Amino acid sequence: MLVLAMLAASSARSELVSRTVEYRQGDTVLEGYAVYDDAVHGKRPAVLVVHQWKGLGEYEKKRAEMLARLGYNVLAADIYGKGVRPQAPSAAGAEAGKYKNDRALLRARVRAGFDLLASHELTDPKRIAAIGYCFGGTTVLELARSGAELTGVVSFHGGLGSPTPADARNIKGKVLALHGADDPNVPAAEVAGFEAEMRQAGVDWQLVAYGGAVHSFTDWSAGTDNSRGAAYNERADRRSWEAMKQFFAELFK
């Protein structure tokens, strides 16, 4: 009986299924990362993950796998295009700036990933969320402002400003912004503008500010020196991930 029990446990053990996926936005080839847990059967809630300023890399893939282990169908999207993965800060800043200064293009790129995920056979199209880190946080907020059929979005230390705040009236889902209280890249005026935007549009929104945290507080490779303006903060990382999980439990109940 013990052997049978062990065999049953082994057969029920979950295994992540992942693959690189190519898709397009216009003439641009994009390369994302799709992952799900094969122990979950049938359609399930889905989560779109959007990368930070250096493009889709191992960090976002790891986060996607963490989400898949929670039972979600996950796509880590590519905004920049296949093979565009700038590593130098100057190059990454320039690449991110292209999209921050062209919100229509940014929305088109993230919408391509959203549509791919929404059409997947394992996705429950009525239960889709998007999360993003830094540049990705800005991006998922833009996706929501575009009127995409999202259940909710989560921004981790993302830019909160919008050149067209009236577009918040298009937001259909709930919004959770997880913010470093000492983030020099997202000053108090930008935070206040975001709050006003959400209030005026009547959005169901939350903003959580983590004391002692600066930009990139979830990035394991960012170091721990706050004086640089971007640094990992284990406590804020852990708390923000739990806040996201609680938010999803509310969204997908």
Coil, helix or strand at residue 8: helix
pLDDT digit string, tens, across residues 49-95: 999 999 999 999 999 999 999 999 999 999 999 999 999 999 999 99
Task: Please list, residue by residue across 60-78, b when 16 or more beta carbons sit within 10 angstroms of its beta carbon and e when fewer do.
Answer: bbebbbebbbeebbbbbbb
Domains annotated for the chain, with CATH where assigned, are 14-251 (3.40.50.1820)
Instruction: Look at residue 1 in the predicted model and tell me its pLDDT.
Output: 42
Residue 5 — very low, low, confident or very high, per pLDDT cuts 50/70/90?
very low
Q: What pTM was estimated for this model as a whole?
A: 0.94
Tokens 């990035």: give the residue. 219
Instruction: Look at residue 4 in the predicted model and tell me its pLDDT.
Output: 39
Coil, helix or strand at residue 227: helix
3-state SS of 12-61 is HCCCEEEEEEEEEECCEEEEEEEEEECCCCCCEEEEEEECCCCCCCHHHH
